[in-house]
Structure 1
């Protein structure tokens, strides 16, 4: 079992608040996020961008392993994930993640590729997470 973590810190509240995201690997190191990085054009990241990166990366790696297991050793895969954030009553909801894949796999049939791609989409851990239950523990200082 592997557990990965990330930490979000937010100072202030609402549209004027500012946040930072960090991860032990150092890939995220006090990376800014805020209302303006999510809904405007301020430099920084946002949850939807991070989910899109995670989904594209996870799916592409899952498909890579499925192709290797099926005996393919050469080629390239490039996936873009588009995560959609929409108004949901008084709040917002992430309503979908669309994967767009461009692949070059010499010697594979369209039918075999479709089966492997669909299997990777259904079984990559991030696809499963997007359908998972969420746990929450909290303390108030």
Structure 2
């Protein structure tokens, strides 16, 4: 599968902003900018987009492995925290919680680690990523 996105930038770095369009998805005219404030809800930045790509890919990978093993999943929720120091991404922290029927916490953690190793976006990044996995009853 090929996925095409287009990013357009207008203006200088400090005052400018860009927009993103994904050709075959609901991503349309998403505004991004480097100086986005934490509470600003009208724009995103590349770190958030990267986190969204990683968490969604990880959820699909974990769901695939669990489904293939015969487990029934109510939900999986993955958060990604990306740490950036001096304009260099230094680490990524994954936190996954799920409700999966008839599985032990230890086995869930094993599947979580397998998904971490098998996630295409995570593998693309090739950065040290921590993982915290917890199962809800």
**TM-score normalised to the size of structure 1?**
0.80
Question: Is 1:47 aligned to residue 46 of structure 2?
Answer: yes
Distance in 2, Cα, partners of 1:42 & 1:80: 18
Gapped runs of 5+ residues in structure 1?
Answer: 133-141
More strand by share: 2
More helix by share: 1
Q: CA deviation at 1:65?
A: 0.8
* CA RMSD, 1 decimal: 2.0
Aligned length: 127
Matched with 1:123 is 118
Distance in 2, Cα, partners of 1:116 & 1:39: 33
Q: CA deviation at 1:38?
A: 6.5
Alignment of 1:40-79 (within 5 A): 41=40, 43-79=42-78
Q: CA deviation at 1:47?
A: 0.6
Highest CA radius of gyration, 1 or 2? 1
Structure 1 contact 37–43 (Cα < 8 Å) conserved: no
Alignment of 1:1-141 (within 5 A): 2-37=1-36, 41=40, 43-87=42-86, 92-131=87-126
Gapped runs of 5+ residues in structure 2?
Answer: 128-137
2:67 match: secondary structure: helix
Distance in 2, Cα, partners of 1:51 & 1:74: 25
Structure 1 residues 127 and 21, CA gap change in structure 2 (3 angstroms): same
Distance in 2, Cα, partners of 1:85 & 1:27: 28
